[in-house]
Amino acid sequence: MDPKGTICAVSGNIIAIQYEKGFHYMGCKKCKKKVYDKVCERCKEENTETPIYMFNIKVSDGTDSVWVHVFADQGETILGKNAAEVLQLQQTDEVAFKRAFEKPKGSLYTMLVRVKKEVYEEKEIVKYQMVRMQKPNWKEENKGMLKKIETYLAKAA
């Protein structure tokens, strides 16, 4: 396996979201690197911190399921809100906060996932990280399927 990992295309449903131990970190608005003491180590700018998503989702394609690590933009795609909005819900409306993480369960997505082997505590583990995700474009997928059927029928004739 490539040291940078292998990118796999997956079409699957979200069956669980792990957020109880935290769903965000405070990162730089520009580069998204974690901010310590209100200063970004990469950009060297002060007071640029903003909540950025970081949580795990369990994805199933009908044959198996895996836990996939989700960051920033993919979190917004899944929850439909930015991390600051969800953090505000956590502080003001516990029911709406929990609902934000329950609502996406069962949703189907087309995803690009990086699969990478790493050594952790002298054991080899496989990590899955979301690269990109989107809701399926049924119109385009149907066009592709119709072309395949037409090709098949033309060969059969």
Token readout for 24 is 């965000």
CATH of the domain at 55: 2.40.50.140
Tokens 């979201």 found at: 17
Contact 79, 101 (CB under 8 A): yes
Q: Is residue 62 part of a domain?
A: yes
Q: What is the pLDDT of residue 58?
A: 97
Q: Is residue 124 part of a domain?
A: yes
Residue 34 DSSP label? B
Q: What is the pLDDT of residue 1?
A: 60
Q: Is residue 113 part of a domain?
A: yes
Name the average pLDDT for the chain: 91
Q: Is residue 1 part of a domain?
A: no
Q: What is the pLDDT of residue 138?
A: 84
Distances (CA, A) of 105 to 16, 78, 95, 132: 6, 9, 16, 18
Domain range enclosing 22: 6-156
Could you read off the pLDDT of 115-134 as tens digits, one per residue?
999 888 889 999 999 999 99
pTM: 0.82
Could you read off the pLDDT of 70-85 as tens digits, one per residue?
999 999 999 999 999 9
Q: Is residue 137 part of a domain?
A: yes
Q: Tally the domains of the chain.
A: 1
